[in-house]
A = this chain, B = another copy of it.
Amino acid sequence: MIGRLNHVAIAVKDLDAGARIYRDTLGATLSPPLPQPEHGVTVIFVELPNSKIELLEPLGEGSPITAFLERNPGGGIHHVCYEVDDILAARDRLVAQGARILGSGEPKIGAHGKPVLFLHPKDFLGTLVELEQV
Contact = CB atoms under 8 A, between A and B. Distances in A.
Interface of A: 1-5, 8, 10, 12, 18, 21, 24-28, 48-51, 53, 55, 72, 74-77, 80, 82, 93-94, 97, 99, 121-127
Contacts of A76: 125-127
Contacts of A97: 24-25
Tell me the number of copies of this protein: 2
Given A10-B127, A82-B48, A125-B75, A27 B5 contact: no
Given A25-B94, A26-B82, A125-B21, A5 B75 contact: no
A49 to B, nearest CB: 5
A53 B5 CA distance: 9
A48 B55 CA distance: 22
